[in-house]
Structure 1
Amino acid sequence: MSANDPFARLPEAASFSVTSTTVADGGVWPPEQFSSGVPGGKDLSPQLSWSGAPEGTKSYAVTVYDPDAPTGSGFWHWAVADIPAEVTELPEGAGDDTGSALPEAAFQLPNDARAARYIGAAPPVGHGPHRYFVVVHALDVASIGVPADATPALLGFTMTGHILGRAVLIATAETAA
């Protein structure tokens, strides 16, 4: 991890694998994963599959974060908590308004737009490419214990002492003029 990596300052964690049929690690977000406010955008969360989580994993959390947003604090696009340990995949679109494609125990926290759903990429026009860190966190607890209206930052803070492993996929997006 480099100093330019928002996860570099967090405690070390075992690495495991996350893949997507929607976007490749190091690839560019497809138009459907952009915000509905961007031409062609559909606010469609990416398909994710993961494997090789550390022994002792009791649940997962998934986050999508843009550290390059011009906010001083980045922008959280999606946060899902309490995904049961036996679940190792989320279908494309699982982050819709209802979360109906999420496992029963899992729930979405409000993103930085304060919507409990996935909100797509929307870098400001002319701002250059933004990185989107799609992270699956393997946790040592079955429930992380944050309220459903918590922020993704509170989720991250609460998870810090419970992370056994971290799987990271990074995609980029840029909005043309």
Structure 2
Amino acid sequence: MFRTTLLAATLVATAIAAPVAADTFTLTSTTIAEGQQLDAAQVFQGFGCEGGNTAPDLAWSGAPEGTKSFAVTAYDPDAPTGSGWWHWFAFNIPADATGLAADAAMADGVVELGNDYGAAGFGGACPPAGEVHRYQFTVHALGTVLELDDSVSNALAGFMVNANSIASSTITAVYNR
């Protein structure tokens, strides 16, 4: 009985704390579009790919009350690694921000983690030849400023972002070569 009650309490607490994709919190871009092929500008330069390695512009609106900062990620869940591929991870973007210009330099206090290519900042798409991969560009409205630095892993930062996300919005683009 105690275990069942504890499990139910945990599920209720998790449901209450889970982020909600608010209908009014939206992510847009003039460079990428839902379900559409990424442009060469967003393709990696290296690993057999020829591209501009340029982060897309992103704009968001309708952030929920209580937003203290934002996080932006670009993630390929289709990478043949067993854990996907992080193309971009930035957090502690100020709460008054409404977007990022294409290939924008980050404001003071914003933390950009190393991508899975091993460099800080954005790393473009480069799936294995003949494969179509999805690239999920997500903005999270966070109820806090994360007390993390650029030495943490993308997995740990992802855990903290998801644990503190009060809303999120995603554009999923694709790329194949």
| Deviation of the 1:103 alpha carbon | 1.9
Look up the match of 1:18.
Answer: 27
Unaligned runs of 5+ in 1: 1-9, 95-100
| C-alpha displacement of 1:39 | 4.9
Equivalence for 1:36: 45
1:160 counterpart = 2:170: no
1:168 positional shift: 0.5
CA distance in structure 1 between the aligned counterparts of 2:171 and 2:61, rounded to whole angstroms:
13
Runs of 4+ in 1 over 2 A off after TM superposition: none
Match of 1:49 among 59, 68, 74: 59
Which one has the largest radius of gyration? 2
Q: Cα deviation per residue 1:96-152 (whole Å; 9 max; x = unaligned)?
A: xxxxx21222121111122111110000002x21000000010001x2111212122
**What displacement does 1:40 show?**
3.9
Q: Which runs of 5+ in 2 are unaligned?
A: 1-16
Whether 1:69 aligns to 2:79 is yes
Answer yes or no: is 1:85 the counterpart of 2:85.
no
Whether the 8 Å CA contact 1:139–1:165 is kept in 2: the answer is: yes
Distance 2:19 2:68 in 1: 18
TM-score for the superposition, normalised by structure 2: 0.84
Q: Is the 8 A contact 2:19 2:168 kept in 1?
A: no
Letter in 2 for 1:67: P
Question: 123, 126, 150: which is aligned to 2:127?
Answer: 123
Q: Work out the percentage of aligned pairs sharing the same amino acid.
A: 43
Q: Which structure carries more helix by proportion?
A: 2
In the superposition, the TM-score normalised over structure 1's length comes to 0.84
| Paired positions, count | 158
Larger displacement relative to structure 2 (50-59 or 149-158) = 149-158
Quote the residue 2:112 is aligned against.
108
Structure-2 separation of matches of 1:81 and 1:12:
16
